[in-house]
Amino acid sequence: TYSETSRAQLGHQLAKPLALLVVPLHRFLCDLMLPDLIQVTVVKDPAEFEKNYPLYAAVNRCAKVVERHTGRIINLEYVGEGDIQNTVLLVGKGVTYDTGGADIKAGGVMAGMSRDKCGAAAVAGFFQLYVIDDSELIFQTLAMLKPKGIKVFGTMAMVRNSVGAEGYVADEIITSAAGARIRVGNTDAEGRMAMADCMHHMKLKALAEKVPTHILTIATLTGHARLAMGPAYSIVIDNGPAARTKFAQNIQKAGHDMGDPFEISTVRREDYDFVKAHSEYADVLQCNNSPSSRTPRGHQFPAAFLIRASGLDKPLCYSHFDIAGSSGTFPQVPTGAPVVAMTETFLKSHC
């Protein structure tokens, strides 16, 4: 069984003030994960960011000036016993603090932006969720259930969106790891920048697998999501291959049964048109210069951006979760959404 308390604990830990700093946060996670079950590797070399994660590197460029703020890409891997039947690949947005960058969050809206890492927290929670019960740690999800026949990759894109002279700015054109030329439109759309290259590397892993795969991005991505669906609901958006498996409907049912509810949205041709750069020197537009809450289809078009920027042009199942509403209202304790629904959907049949 899964309680509201259990699903919130890891998110609560990652939301503490210490977790504003990327370096101690990654050490905390490395200490938390059980090494005999979950492999943890950390990318921290700025040169590797520039080479393999150029969009992420753009966001990290300003933060890396301060050592305690410099980014980390934390990779997790779990391989169940027996023949692997399917592989799940998760990418979580882990923005430890979001100032908005050069397009700064003005007018008092910066408060609560320490919570912009709840997508990465959900990835960590899926691997190793714990609760305090009679002063003992009880490990659940992958670490406790030890499901057989499933492989799970997780990437936590941990970065701080700082503001300063080294910050990336609108009008920059940055080539993604997939080779797409990205024109920056708004530095406050840093989450999709941090995740897109990570998603590209997950795509390469998925293509190498011999079993069915599913790629997911999880992020507190847009204010539009909360405006459209309210504060209690995660949003799921499937690409075509995922829609044919009815993944969105399946996780919505699991969430309904487990008290971790979802609403379903759709990525459409208008979203792909929106992210076209419409110029000869760029391929993809990162964002417009308006808040998502004042942009039509403000939570749908980012999924199209992630697909285009990551080069996801193969028939691989991909779903995007926007948890800007469901992650919780600051300063209340984060909810841990959507870990429970994910566990019910992906792990139940393997236990």
Return the pLDDT at 4: 41
Return the pLDDT at 133: 44
Higher confidence at residue 209 or residue 349? 209
Q: Strand, coil or helix: what is 218?
A: strand
Sequence-distant (6+) residues with CB within 8 A of 329 are 231
Per-residue model confidence as pLDDT tens digits over 139-169:
356 877 889 999 999 999 999 999 999 999 9
Return the pLDDT at 19: 53
Return the pLDDT at 137: 41
Name the catalytic one among 117, 160, 183, 192. 192
Whole-number Å distance between alpha carbons of 103 and 28: 31
The answer on pLDDT for 9 being more than 80 is: no
Per-residue model confidence as pLDDT tens digits over 267-325:
999 999 999 999 999 999 999 999 999 999 999 999 999 999 999 999 999 999 999 99
pLDDT band at 23 (very low <50, low <70, confident <90, very high): low
Return the pLDDT at 140: 53
Average confidence (pLDDT) over 211-218 = 99
Whole-number Å distance between alpha carbons of 141 and 157: 21
Whole-number Å distance between alpha carbons of 195 and 92: 7
Superfamily grouping for domain 19-348: Zn peptidases (3.40.630.10)
Whole-number Å distance between alpha carbons of 239 and 229: 20
Mean pLDDT, the chain, rounded, equals: 90
Return the pLDDT at 349: 84
Name the catalytic one among 93, 105, 117, 160. 105
Average confidence (pLDDT) over 99-114 = 96
Q: Strand, coil or helix: what is 334?
A: coil
Return the pLDDT at 11: 52
Average confidence (pLDDT) over 41-67 = 97
The answer on pLDDT for 79 being more than 90 is: yes
Label residue 36 exposed, middle or buried (CB < 10 Å: 0-12, 13-18, 19+): exposed
- Whether residue 117 contacts residue 96, with contact meaning beta carbons closer than 8 Å, is answered with yes
The answer on pLDDT for 341 being more than 90 is: yes
Whole-number Å distance between alpha carbons of 340 and 307: 26
Amino acid at 209: E
Return the pLDDT at 20: 57
pLDDT band at 22 (very low <50, low <70, confident <90, very high): low
Whole-number Å distance between alpha carbons of 176 and 47: 15
Return the pLDDT at 154: 97
Higher confidence at residue 344 or residue 1? 344
Return the pLDDT at 37: 85
Nearest CA to 118 out of 303, 341, 335, 344 is that of 335
Does residue 192 carry a catalytic annotation?
yes
Structure tokens at 219: 């992020």
Does residue 44 carry a catalytic annotation?
no
